[in-house]
Amino acid sequence: MAQFYFVAKSIGGEEKKGVCEAEDESQLAHSLHQEGFILVKAVAAGTGKKKLAVSLPSLGVSLKDKIFFCKNLQVMVAAGLSLPRAIGILADQTENRILRSALNEVKESITRGESFSAGLAKFPKIFSDFLCSMVRVGEETGTLENVLGISVSQMEKEYGLRAKVKGAMVYPAVILVAMLGIGMLMLATVVPQLAATFKDLKVELPVTTQFVIAAGGFMQKFWWVALMVVFAISAVIARILKTKKGKKVADDAALRMPAISVIVRNINTAYTLRNLSALVGAGISLPRALEITAGTVDNSNYEIALLDIKERVKKGEKFSVAIKEYDKIYPQTAIQMIAVGEETGETSNILIKLAEFYETEVDEETKNFASIIEPMLMILIGIVVGFFAISMMQPMYSMLDSV
């Protein structure tokens, strides 16, 4: 039997500290669970190893990895496993090297006496402010199992919405890439042959035909340069979009594009309402909930709006009045229902119902996106093919007219 210094909390938030003998952490957690307590941390007597905090990059930890971690942690906590042991098991199970290192550090910080939320907060680019805040509430109220369930539900909804939007974008992306590839192939193979024919016939060529032939000659000799230019332009655009100004320009454009703007508005509205519902329902103040939610939306216009609303709410203004100033990005229905929620005291419930409504709207819009974008793509392809055909056929017609 070994002695453990432990900290546990009850469902009602009562904290219990002390020293207890047990064969291992699992037995200690089980005995405390029978008494109505959840083991938060346990340190074996005589162990005093300390490790320095490790700073890890955030790249490579997907939302799916985080869902796996939170969902399984919820099950283990409900089964009575101590947090350090549960996190250690999940760290061993995950295939993501970065997440594994982060979880091992979180486990060590808990065994040193730090809270779970403080351990997660050391990795802000891996574990969101939303998750850290929810875990902190769970620790303070003894409802860690419940808040982990809510967090998993939030992340699964977010993952589903992102998957639907990405799926809707696959069709136009494939068409545009295929059109670009076929166009480059025709310039490199077909156009040079036609150019040789025109040269033999000594036909006077229009400007557009000369341009296509020049492009074809360049592609035939320097196709690798064209590919490098395409990749370089793509890299530059991607780099610009990562800057604050570049992202703002792209976000503004997304809110103006006919086929995309409705999806952008509804998906960011759904993010806002669902996260606010979870945070406010967990007992977090509205200004703090607005600040956390500002970090979860994809569009910078919504982030700016939420931070401004937060400041106005802190000064005593009603949420429904503050959000009304942003009726160009938030639907009128949502604004009016928020006002009803404030009047009836059912803000949290109304927010979650609104979130479900707009998630359904996003689902329908993404399903119809292909039928909306298809005519636009057909027009674009028609213009490109028409330009190429006219440019290459016009000299032939001119030659026939002169005969």
Query: Using one digit for the tens of pLDDT, what is the confidence trace for 348-365?
Result: 888 888 988 988 888 888
d(CA 281, CA 134): 10
Instruction: Answer whether residue 241 shows pLDDT above 90.
Output: no
State mean pLDDT over 375-392.
84
In this predicted structure, what is the pLDDT of residue 307? 92
Q: What is the residue extent of each domain of the chain?
A: 2-127, 154-403
Do residues 169 and 367 lie in contact, with contact meaning Cβ atoms separated by under 8 Å? Answer: no
Tokens of 277: 């519902």
Instruction: Answer whether residue 59 shows pLDDT above 70.
Output: no
pLDDT in tens, 270-318: 889 988 888 888 888 889 889 988 888 888 999 999 999 999 999 999 9
206 pLDDT band, cuts 50/70/90, is confident
In this predicted structure, what is the pLDDT of residue 401? 61
Tokens of 101: 């290192």
pLDDT in tens, 122-171: 888 888 888 888 888 888 888 888 888 888 888 888 888 888 888 878 87
Share of residues in the chain with pLDDT > 70 (%): 88
In this predicted structure, what is the pLDDT of residue 60? 62
14 pLDDT band, cuts 50/70/90, is low
Instruction: Answer whether residue 192 shows pLDDT above 90.
Output: no
Which 3-state string (H, E, C) describes the chain? CEEEEEEEEECCCCEEEEEEEECCHHHHHHHHHHCCEEEEEEEECCCCCCCCCCCCCCCCCCHHHHHHHHHHHHHHHHCCCCHHHHHHHHHHHCCCHHHHHHHHHHHHHHHCCCCHHHHHHCCCCCCCHHHHHHHHHHHHHCCHHHHHHHHHHHHHHHHHHHHHHHHHHHHHHHHHHHHHHHHHHHHHHHHHHHHHHHHHHCCCCCHHHHHHHHHHHHHHHHHHHHHHHHHHHHHHHHHHHHCHHHHHHHHHHHCCCHHHHHHHHHHHHHHHHHHHHHHHHCCCCHHHHHHHHHCCCCCHHHHHHHHHHHHHHHCCCCHHHHHHHHCCCCCHHHHHHHHHHHHHCCHHHHHHHHHHHHHHHHHHHHHHHHHHHHHHHHHHHHHHHHHHHHHHHHHHHHHHHHC
Bridge partners of 9, per DSSP, are 15, 38
d(CA 324, CA 336): 9
Q: In the predicted model, what is the mean pLDDT of the chain?
A: 82
In this predicted structure, what is the pLDDT of residue 9? 67
State mean pLDDT over 387-392.
83
400 pLDDT band, cuts 50/70/90, is low
In this predicted structure, what is the pLDDT of residue 1? 62
In this predicted structure, what is the pLDDT of residue 399? 65
Q: For the chain, what is the radius of gyration of the CA atoms?
A: 29
In this predicted structure, what is the pLDDT of residue 54? 37
In this predicted structure, what is the pLDDT of residue 57? 41
50 pLDDT band, cuts 50/70/90, is very low
61 pLDDT band, cuts 50/70/90, is confident
In this predicted structure, what is the pLDDT of residue 58? 42
Tokens of 35: 């008494």
In this predicted structure, what is the pLDDT of residue 53? 36
Residue type, 339: A
d(CA 72, CA 89): 10
Instruction: Answer whether residue 45 shows pLDDT above 70.
Output: no
Q: What would the CATH number be for the domain defined by 154-403?
A: 1.20.81.30
d(CA 145, CA 81): 12
